[in-house]
A and B are shown apart, each in its own frame.
Chain A
Amino acid sequence: MKRNSLLKSLSLTLAAAGLTALLSGCASSGVKNPSGVPVTEMKADERGFVTGTGVESQDLVAVTDKMARGILGLSQIANATTPPRVALDPVINETRFPINKDIFLTRIRTQLNSKSQGKVIFLARERMATLEKEREMKRAGQVTSTTDPTRQEFKGADYFITGKLQGLTTKTKAGTSDYVLYSFQLIDVRTSEIVWEDSAEMKKQGLEDAAYR
């Protein structure tokens, strides 16, 4: 009776073990990193693996904060007797990521406007069509005006802020790597001198799940 019960237990245990082995089997044997690798942010000179390798919101925040601090610290801005007038020139995108280019300069402008305490004045060049139309209406007497509408009062820019995004991409079996260099300049309109320039760089790597490779 003991032997029967032992045999029964043994066969059932073997069946259970086989069941477990089958259930826990994985068809991905022999595939490197089958589950992919999660995302971490890294320094530009550091190797690693990342996901979502494009330009993202945290990059925008970090870059524009740095640029705004740099411009505020400039002597031409900090020590100017009259606040210089700055216009925005569209950022040039040379990366492989389609982006909202205006958002970079918009954020730099809002940061400077909120932190510069009037030391920098921006010109709303993107609104020129609306402003000219308003002026024409005042000149034609269609709307009232508190000042003489025939006078030219639109201000010219003292500086332009512009920028460029450039990238390098590598894609292999080991994953995808993207490096993006964000560079911004403050250009003297009168002399074309670059009075200030700064840059920030991001590098990200990622590897997708084997099911997508």
Chain B
Amino acid sequence: MRRGQLKDRNTLAFDLRNSAWVIWRPVLAWAEFFGRANARRPFWPLPAARPIGRVMVALTLTLTVTACSTPKQKPHPLTGDPIVDGENAIAHGPERDQVLWQYRTALAAMRRGQYDLAKRYLDDAIARISNIYGKDPSARKARGYFQTEAKKTFIGEPYERAMAYFYRGVLYWMDGEPDNARACFRSGQVMDSDTEDKTYSGDYILFDFLDGYITQRLGGDGADAIKRAQASSKMWRPPEFSPKANVMVFVDYGPGPKKYATGQYAEQLRFSGGKSPVVSARVKADEQTGKAVPYDDLYFQATTRGGRVMDHVLGNKAVFKRTTDTAGTAALLTGAIMAGASHNQNAQLAGAALAGAGLITKIFSAAATPEADIRMWDNLPLYLSFVAFELAPGPHTLTVEFIDGQDRVVAGQTRTVPFTVADDSRDTVLYVSDHSVTPPPPPPESPTTPTSPTTSTPTSTPTPTPPTSATP
């Protein structure tokens, strides 16, 4: 056999058990070509020796076409404590999941009354999600054919980002900064502003209502924001809480929306959920009672946002994967048949090259990753609610009973929170969830002078929104 000439078909890998040789033959033939070129031109940058040149080019092509797997980080062992696990994940987990764990840990901390911890994590998360403009290497990779969407830094879907601002707003109000709380509620509403159908743009009832309510309490005119809230309300219309109310109670309940992927290659992001055993709550503060009805529904918010730009990118990836898979299969089979059936060396060469190209195309298809990112803030609630009371300074007890669809109190879910109303102008803000871990009531104290009974001020009652003809 002459130098550089391909071996005959008996040596070629017509046998599919040796199909690897079909892959390598075109690669090595190219390497051989470079090797011969190198022999003619000593200044060619590749090493002079043909075998070494062949191997180097083959190695280069191997690295180019095959996925390079980096050693995966070992997940930190879970302890079962959501805050410990969350802090471990934040400290040791991949950077792209930082914001996700900050969200989760912050909410878990709020439900335990660890508000300083929640503030810290929400501030870090909000600092990240409010500076996502411009070039982002991880996002660019996520848009590529061969990287999953989950490679990008998690910042959450709009409903998740809105909730980060919502909870931070609650915490600002707890700290006596209602204007910063209002700023957060406004930012949360902005997160919901870019929906596909503008009917559902910026339609969080509570965000608009609290914007207007706080503005009124600060001496401004919040009527426009309150009107927007009432116009957007689908289930319940917030009542006119007294501007003298000094105890604000935020209540949330139900299981939040869950993400899943569907489609041939799991490239379509979908949401499940929207059902809850708890449909409202009864909030009692001493002698006063308020109804914490569901003003906002996070499943509704998640599903009415509409399509994402990233859905289009994932769709393209899925088309690429499908097309290259089909083309690769066709080329591989055709090439193998050509190489095996023909006695002509040129045809064998062409067949081998075609089969090789087909196999490489199949490798690309296998490497393409159109899967949608289904990382989610999974401890979010389904429903958001709010009640306000006017109470005298001093110690009080808040009781929250969660109600099911038959208007019965859900057993084992009632939460009791002792609190004290300060005698200054600062509002007392409380947060209770059906997932809260409330502190046990303080031990009984020695008998004290009985205080004068609190006047039972009639609490404003939320009104159900009249049914509309179009239900989303």
On A, residues with C-beta under 8 Å from B are 1, 3-5, 7-9, 11-12, 14-16, 18-19, 22-23, 25-31, 34-39, 49-54, 92-99, 101, 169, 171-173, 175-176, 206-213
Residues of B within 8 A of A95 (CB): 183, 186
Residues of B within 8 A of A8 (CB): 6, 29, 33, 349
A42 nearest CB across to chain B (Å) = 13
Total residues of chain B contacting the partner, CB 8 A: 66
A51 to B133, CA, bound (A): 4
Does A213 contact B310, Cβ atoms closer than 8 Å? Answer: yes
Does B183 contact A96, Cβ atoms closer than 8 Å? Answer: yes
A51 with B134: in contact, given A15-B357, A95-B183, A171-B190 (CB under 8 Å)? Answer: yes
Does A15 contact B356, Cβ atoms closer than 8 Å? Answer: yes
The 0/1 profile, CB within 8 Å of A marked 1, for residues 319-355 of chain B is: 0100010000000000000000000011001100110
Does A98 contact B133, Cβ atoms closer than 8 Å? Answer: no
The 0/1 profile, CB within 8 Å of A marked 1, for residues 183-197 of chain B is: 110110010011000
B193 nearest CB across to chain A (Å) = 4
Residues of B within 8 A of A11 (CB): 26, 349-350, 353-354
Does B140 contact A96, Cβ atoms closer than 8 Å? Answer: no
Which secondary structure dominates where chain B touches chain A?
helix
Please give me the residue from chain A that is nearest to B353 by CB atom: A11
Does A12 contact B133, Cβ atoms closer than 8 Å? Answer: no
Residues of B within 8 A of A34 (CB): 140, 143, 313
A12 with B313: in contact, given A35-B140, A54-B130 (CB under 8 Å)? Answer: no
Residues of A within 8 A of B29 (CB): 8, 12
A175 to B194, CA, bound (A): 9
Q: Pick the interface stretch among B42-50, B144-152, B272-280, B381-389.
A: B144-152
Indicate if B172 sits at the interface (CB-CB under 8 A): yes
Please give me the residue from chain A that is nearest to B219 by CB atom: A92
Does A19 contact B131, Cβ atoms closer than 8 Å? Answer: no
Does B143 contact A26, Cβ atoms closer than 8 Å? Answer: yes
Residues of B within 8 A of A38 (CB): 133-135
Residues of A within 8 A of B313 (CB): 27-28, 31, 34, 210-211
Indicate if B65 sits at the interface (CB-CB under 8 A): yes
Does B350 contact A7, Cβ atoms closer than 8 Å? Answer: yes
